[in-house]
Chains A and B, each alone.
Chain A
Amino acid sequence: MPLRTSSKGSSRVNIETVARLLTIRNSPILLRLPPFVSALCLVVGIAWLFILPLNEYSRQTYVSENAILPGQVHTYFGGSEHNVFRAYRHEVYQMAQWSQADRLAAIEGIMRDIGLKSARQPYRYTVAGEDIQGTNVYALLQGPRADATEAMVLMAAWRNFDGEINHSGVALALTMARYFKRWSIWSKDIIILIPADSTYGSEAWVSAYHSTATEVTAWRNVSELSIKAGALQAAVAIDYPVGPWGHRFDKLDILYDGINGALPNLDLLNTAVSIASGQMGIGCSIHGVAAHSDSYQDRLKTLARGVMTQSAGHATGPHSAFMPYHVDAITLKTVGDGWHDEMSLGRTTESIFRSINNLLEHLHQSFFFYILLNANRFVSIGNYLPAAMLMAGNFTIAALALWLQSGRAPMTPTTKPADTASKLDGLQLEKVKLGDAVVLVPIQATKPMIRHLFLPVLAALAVHLFGVLPLKALVSLHRDYLTLSLQAIALASYLLPSLLSILLVRTLSASTQQIQILQSLSLLLLSAVLATLATLNFSLAFVVGVLAWPLAFVRPLFNPFAASMTLTSTNLHRSLLLAGQLLVTALYLALSPATVLYILTRYFDTSVQWTLLEMAKAWQIQGVYTALVVWAIWWPAWIVGGVVLTSSAWKPRS
């Protein structure tokens, strides 16, 4: 590969091209562009979410898997089954007054009377000094045509997600079990599961179902299952907490968010929606938006609730625990006052199970990544992912720009020249001669600087590893200390940036360039992690991206009343600069992870301790990694931002 400079002998065109390229490469406009590109990415990324509810960017849902055939069968649940249901409901109501041991025995008794094999599973978790224990009861209905390789789960937690006793839900599950037992059509086994609790009961059951040996540790004691069937194909939970005298409902709210924002295959949701609304005439809602007028506002509201739920990543019902095990699951929750009774819910469940029964292979045809706008409209990943990727891209661009800047000699002091003439005076120009073409380039632009990487790399690594500390504290301390430790973390995170920058700038005498490199590395890491997170849990990546946006624009503060400034600007100008900087600092502090957590708890009207306790339990028991993202990714990046912000304040005066 022969290399040469464009020397005298070469053609005119070539010289011009090279000269133009050289000027473009070093053009001051191009070098000042990145912050604007970054900001554009940010604005477009956020605006992107607002156009998704439009018809052009979302689609009508459709059943993709041919085998499902939703609503194609006649449902026979009715008639005398109604009497059976009412009897069971009264029994369940009675059981609610009994002790736990009697209740479990009674449920098992009913299951055995129906003719099913039944078993119990006690479990116990100890997190943050809180004991969570209970006993799941479940029974296996062996499908007459099944070969014990596949199974589906019908679930009704004893207590629903809101903590009410699920009278009618449990009764309906038992009635359905009795009814299903008489059919000869099942080609998959059916498991009837009554978890003691909506979140941890089903978690204990499904984790024991998928492990061969369970290990007893100090905080987790989950018994093994004595009865197992084949691979779980789908799970449907019923949430119908109505007492012995019944209550007619208006709509079915379909809950579908899994742990860490995993979603069930869209086909399962479509099946439930098309059966409920098409076959049974029951309206369906998503995320509790009951009066959905299909207007832009309502779609946006549903989308926003979906994004918030998904980004929290915690369980939303008994179905959530199934998602990490690649089992598609939903919860049917009855809402409102209307004219649908338990029999329509039963027929819907029957029809859903008939459809799942038809499956020839695991649900795989339809989408796994989607955002729902109402029960039958969705945005697919291709349409929404760019929003999060733009967020991540914004940080990458900022990192690249900082890296380029760090490789250049610092430009003339931060003063802003009054006019173009003085601007030119401030720069030392250098003649770059290329054949006949001569270009004037600022000398700073052509003189590369050696980057001193050791300190910034070490500092970036150290700060990111340090993020483990608040995480560890918040997930392992006793619940009485959780609020206190968050206060301590909040206070420490306000002080830490200054302390760190004193350490870096004063003790270790880090240069401006090294601070730039530190920020660049931290932003690069943040963007790479957010891009990765966007493929696992879009909403979490997007929300963290939005909350961390100032980090891409943080630059060292400077004192507008310093001697170098007094020559060029007026007093008013300097006061405005000072006010601007105070505003920036306030914004930066307001967007600290701890502050945001406080604001969120205030907004959702929950107590800080409850929120922290739920986060600790979710992290320990269900492996929800939202806490990890907040403390080990966002928090270190925020700290580095603060170090950059305060770095110039501690510079030794020379």
Chain B
Amino acid sequence: MTRPSPPPTGSEVAARAALETRDLVKRFRTGEGPVEVLRGVSFTLTPGQSLALTGESGSGKSTLLHICAGLEPADDGAVLVQGHDIARLSEAESAALRRGTLGLVFQQFNLIPSLDVDRNLSFQARLAGHHDPARIAALAERLGLAALLNRYPEELSGGQQQRVAIGRCLAARPAVVLADEPTGNLDEATGDAVLDLLLEACRDAGAALLLVTHSQRLAARCDGRLHLQSGRVAPA
């Protein structure tokens, strides 16, 4: 039996979309039974576009991000990165996707503890095979990390760590950036400056950006906005 081929419009959209989710469902088993955190989340992100993801604490923002990055499987629905259904990728292919195409910034535990800031900054770029020392130096300068290059992650504040994670992500020139409250640990001024950098870099490189944030002010600076509520996205 052959599958019916998808409608032509779908592949057209997929070809244009950097990241697309279709009816994502995610359940967690807990002591009180299964909890449905995502109940059919769909959105599309095109290259160069930035989307802010908001929602109250525990609404499932991080979970959605992890599923988009292929770190966690969805219970139903699909995630397409540059048109590829990541559920169908083998572990090696999914790892290759994370190395070459995606850029991830987490809420915490971003950095590799045994490497210093310099090495952490260049790590992903070297993995992806386009290491450019000049770009890293420029990024470090703009992120205010130039003086910290020889420190180790645990010798940094939370905000400094997050800036390193952002620098590492941008240095690798990913096609899709997934950032989970990247400025959560930063003061307002620094947060603004870092977000400027993030938006600017993504726009320049034509990268899609999905940004989780609690701040309405920051969300307003993105091209679009998704609000997670009761497991579904509501346009804000």
Q: Do A and B bind each other?
A: no
Interface residues of A (CB under 8 A from B): none
Interface residues of B (CB under 8 A from A): none
